[in-house]
Amino acid sequence: MRLRVLAVSLLCLVAANAGAQANKTQAGKSPELRIDFTRETLPNGLNVIYHVDHSTPAATVLLWYNVGSKMEQPGRTGFAHLFEHMMFQGSKNIAKGQHFALLEAAGGRGGADINGTTNWDRTNYYEQVPSNQVELALWLEADRMGTLLNAMDQAKLDNQREVVKNERRQSYDNQPYGSWLEKMGQALFPEGHPYHHSIIGSMDDLSAASLTDVENFFKTYYAPNNAVLVIAGDIDVPQVKQMVQKYFAPIPRGPKVPALANTQVPTVIGHQQRYVISDALAPAPAIYVGYRVPSAKDRRAAAVSLLGDVIGSGRSSRLYDALVRRQQIATNVNAFNLGLADGADELIFIATGKPGANADSLEVAMMAELAGASSFTQAELERARAGERFGFVNALQTTGGLGGRADRLAEGWTFFHDPNHVNKVLSEYDHVTLDDLNALGRERLVPTNRAVLIYVPAKKTASAETRTP
């Protein structure tokens, strides 16, 4: 399963819940499900996708800008995400605080319906509002796309820099095992590779970000020709097209966006990596294993997700059965891929040990399971496929949120120049064979293609020990 919530967001993400045309389904086959859409390109280069779903009187306005942390310059890690925060600080016609005040008063729920998120490959902004408020959402998005710099100042930057530093503390620095995602990127991609550094960025680089950086970033990446706009839900398309014309057509096309640094890497890293981390916040050992695997744009992307699933997703997976159920050395396991778009992706396996468990024994047990990752059964594959089918449909219950309809349409356009990609996802899962899965395991799940992070609880002083009655 690809994990979408690893994107770093303006507001704390709550679990996303999710109208499409669907017909009766048979067991073991994907439901026939179509997300219908129309698409147009404005003269300024903005691509616009419309999807109609009248099942709830609500609609989502969503923008994907084709910019993520992979475009960041040396010394400015975390900037794409910090910039995303600045997009909520007001523009020519919108005072600080008014973006949320207006949208929430209109009926959008902050966080769940209204948010912005940044990941390695893209930055998205979305608002799901009652369908009579679509024009408000379009106006707000157009105003910041066109006039953000008119209202930018140092006080806003300093404030959001602090907010993002707090976000870094909350999600990484103050959490047990909180460093794994940063360390994994550093281990699986060489220095200088666009995926080597983290989305959240370092405290030093956040401190160094300036108003000049804000201006340059905006002028480089935030232009209609580097974005896709989706309006999905209870809408009248001709009417909404007029609104899009009114608000977005006057925004001038931006300069050609600079090419991304080379993202190509060898299919296999070529050497073993093992890191032991003493963690003062961890109550039990944990092991994080990451492999370099084909990217989200690769034809084997569906097989990558399924490979993670059979090994470590859910209570019938291999890791759960072996480490949690039979050996009882771990209390929790997990597997997912990040969905990186260019060059290569990361496939992650996690085992959290029982409190007091020996980290070495946990590592041995986990490696034994990963070593057998090329002899799967058809039943294992079918279980994984069934889980992916359900997860895909479940997320399409809403037009908003990560993995929702608007998000899927924008993803298809940005990564594949094909908004219809959403309608091909299920068949891609259906077409993965057992041979595909085993071949992928044999090729990629090898010791020379992985990084192993071993978190060991740091010895605490007696005074710091938690007392028990």
Partner 1 sequence: MRIIALSLAIGAATANAQTQAPPAPGPLRPYVFPQVNQFQLANGLKVIVVEKHNLPEVEGRLIIDAGAQREPAAKNGLASLTGRLLSEGAGDLSGAEIARQMDALGAQYQTGGGYSTSFADVVALKNVFPQAMQLAAKTVISPSFPANEFTRVKNQAIAAYQQSHARTSGLANDAFIRAAFDTTAPFSRPPNGTTASINALTRDDVVNWHRTMYAPSAATLLLVGDITPAEAKSVAQQAFGSWSATRAAATPISNPIHTSSGTRVILVDRPGSVQSTIIVGQPGFQATDPDYIPMLALNHVFGGAVSSRLNNNLREKHGYTYGAFSGLDLRPGAGLFQMSSEVRTNATDSAIAEAISEYNRLVSETVPAPELQGLVNNLVSGFPNAVQSVQGLSGRIQNLIVWGLPLDFYTTYRERLAAVTPEDVRRVASSKLTPNNIIVVVAGDLSKIETPIRARNFGTVEVWDSNGNKIR
425-464 residues near partner 1, rule: CB under 8 A = 460, 464
Q: Is 270 an interacting residue with respect to partner 1 (CB under 8 A)?
A: no
Helices (H), 6-133: 79-86, 98-106
Q: Is 245 an interacting residue with respect to partner 1 (CB under 8 A)?
A: no
Q: What are phi and psi of 390, to 5 degrees?
A: -60, -45
Among 44, 175, 374, 420, binds partner 1 (CB under 8 A): 175
| Type of residue found at 447 | P
Q: How far is the CB of 386 from partner 1 (least distance, A)?
A: 3
Residues near 242 by Cβ (< 8 Å), separated by ≥ 6? none
Q: How far is the CB of 173 from partner 1 (least distance, A)?
A: 5
Q: Is 67 an interacting residue with respect to partner 1 (CB under 8 A)?
A: no
Q: Which is nearer to partner 1, 20 or 454 (CB)?
A: 20
Burial 197-236 (b: 16+ CB within 10 A, else e): bbbbbbeebbebbeeebbeebbebbbbbbbbbbbbbbbbe
How many chain residues interact with partner 1 (CB under 8 A)?
115
Q: Which is nearer to partner 1, 137 or 188 (CB)?
A: 137
- The stretch near partner 1 (CB under 8 A) out of 62-70, 102-110, 297-305, 412-420 is 102-110
Site string for partner 1, 297-316 (x = CB under 8 A): -----------------xxx
Considering only residues 12 to 41 of the shown chain, the ones binding partner 1 according to CB under 8 A are 12, 17-20, 22, 24-27, 31, 33
| Type of residue found at 446 | V
Residue 300's Cα: distance from chain center in Å?
19
CB-based contact 196:72 (threshold 8 Å): no
- The stretch near partner 1 (CB under 8 A) out of 265-273, 317-325, 362-370, 413-421 is 317-325
Considering only residues 320 to 359 of the shown chain, the ones binding partner 1 according to CB under 8 A are 320-321, 324-325, 328, 331-332, 352, 354-355
Q: How far is the CB of 257 from partner 1 (least distance, A)?
A: 21
Considering only residues 76 to 95 of the shown chain, the ones binding partner 1 according to CB under 8 A are 92-93
Q: β-strand 345-353 against 330-337: which pairing, if any?
A: antiparallel
201 closest CA partner among 280, 276, 118: 118
Query: What token pair was written down for 352?
Result: 């959290």
Q: Is 265 an interacting residue with respect to partner 1 (CB under 8 A)?
A: no
- Tell me the C-alpha distance between 192 and 263, whole Å: 10
Q: Is 58 an interacting residue with respect to partner 1 (CB under 8 A)?
A: yes
Q: How far is the CB of 201 from partner 1 (least distance, A)?
A: 14
Considering only residues 152 to 171 of the shown chain, the ones binding partner 1 according to CB under 8 A are 152-153, 158-167, 169-171
Neighbours of 97 (CB within 10 A): 11
How far separated are the first and last CA of the chain, in Å rounded? 42
- The stretch near partner 1 (CB under 8 A) out of 70-78, 268-276, 388-396, 433-441 is 388-396
Q: Is 468 an interacting residue with respect to partner 1 (CB under 8 A)?
A: yes
Q: What are phi and psi of 59, to 5 degrees?
A: -145, 155
- Tell me the C-alpha distance between 122 and 116, whole Å: 11
- Tell me the C-alpha distance between 165 and 440, whole Å: 39
CB-based contact 282:457 (threshold 8 Å): yes
Query: What token pair was written down for 423?
Result: 């309608």
Q: Which is nearer to partner 1, 393 or 439 (CB)?
A: 393
- Tell me the C-alpha distance between 30 and 427, whole Å: 8
Q: How far is the CB of 270 from partner 1 (least distance, A)?
A: 35
Torsion 178-286-14-414 (CA) sign: positive
Q: Is 403 an interacting residue with respect to partner 1 (CB under 8 A)?
A: no
268 closest CA partner among 52, 103, 451: 451
Q: Which is nearer to partner 1, 134 or 373 (CB)?
A: 134
Site string for partner 1, 178-197 (x = CB under 8 A): --------------------
Among 107, 268, 428, 443, binds partner 1 (CB under 8 A): 107
